[in-house]
Homo-oligomer: A and B are copies of this chain.
Amino acid sequence: MESSSSEDLDSETLFIVSQTFKALGDPTRIRILHLLFKKECSVNAIAEALDIRQSTVSHQLRFLKNLRLVKYRREGTTLYYSPDDEHVMLILKQMIDHASHS
C-alpha cells in the first residue's frame, strides 16, 4: 500500500498537490470557496456577497474550474457555481478550523 510519507513523490503528484494548494493559497479564492460551502451561487451573487469585481470572480472561477475544484450548472444566462471536489473542500474546512483555533 503506497503511503504519502514513505515514498518519493513523483513529479505528477507533486505538480497536482502544489497546484491545488496554490489554489487554496489566495484569500479571494478561499472566500469564494467558503461561500460555496453554504450554497451554490451565481457569479454576480459571489461578486456582491464578497464585494469584488465580477471580472475578478470570473477569472478566479476559471482558475478553480481548471483544477476541477468547482463546477457550474446553467439556468438561462445565469451560471450557478458549486464545489466539485469534496475531499479538497474537507481539507479547506480542516485548515479553517485549525487556524481559527490558534
- For residue A95, CB closer than 8 A to chain B, the reply is yes
**Which chain B residues border A27 with CB–CB below 8 Å?**
14-15, 18
CB neighbors of B among A1-59 (8 A): 2-6, 9-10, 13-27, 30-31, 34, 37-38
Chain A interface, DSSP helix/strand/loop, else mixed: helix
Contacts A15-B27, A87-B94 known; 8 new A-B pairs at CB < 8 A = A4-B94, A4-B97, A18-B30, A20-B95, A21-B21, A21-B25, A21-B95, A87-B98
16 A-B pairs with C-beta separation under 8 A: A3-B97, A4-B37, A4-B94, A4-B97, A4-B100, A5-B34, A9-B34, A13-B99, A14-B30, A14-B31, A17-B92, A18-B26, A21-B21, A21-B30, A21-B95, A91-B95
